[in-house]
Amino acid sequence: MTTPPTPVIPWESWAPPLNPPHDGTDGKPAGLPLDQATAIANACWADDPHLCAALQWEAYAATLPPTPGVSQVATGAQTVSYSPAGPTGDYGLALQRAAWHRSFVAGEVIGVPMQTGMPPMYPARSLALAGLSDPPPSWW
């Protein structure tokens, strides 16, 4: 009799190292807690897988100790300069992976409108949108 195949969870292939099974006992940093990764996946995997992966990698990077930025590497034979300086090690790699996934996020982020209620919170902006150039003398 054969055992049934292990169910495949699609977001796990794009996720950072997870804890468990990667708990940090092998000398490498512990992975992102599985419950946190699952919560992120439940919230946004169906809408945008790349955003989900970027958020998971950023959450994983937040668990790692930050590393100093490197702006120049010299090997003796050549020198390479980086601008801007970037973090190194596992932390830097996690941030790079998150940035890579964010480069595929479609659409634009839309914020909550600032003009809520009367009087408007920002009358100068409201007046400019209405075609007036100068706000009244005591608008704030």
Q: What is the DSSP secondary-structure string of 47-109?
A: T-HHHHHHHHHHHHHHHSPP--EEEEEE-SS-EEEEEEEEE-HHHHHHHHHHHHHHTT--S--
In the chain, domain spans: 10-107
Q: Which residues contact 73 (CB under 8 A, 6 or more apart)?
A: 79, 80, 82
**Peptide bond preceding 21 in cis form (omega within 30 of 0):** yes
What is the per-residue pLDDT across 6-36, written as a single tens digit (0 to 9) for each? Answer: 777 899 999 999 988 878 787 778 899 999 9
Per-residue pLDDT of the chain (140 residues), as tens digits, is: 677 777 778 999 999 999 888 787 877 788 999 999 999 999 999 999 999 999 999 999 999 888 777 777 788 888 877 666 677 788 889 999 999 999 888 766 555 555 555 555 555 555 555 555 555 555 55
* pTM strictly above 0.75: no
CA distance 66 to 5: 39
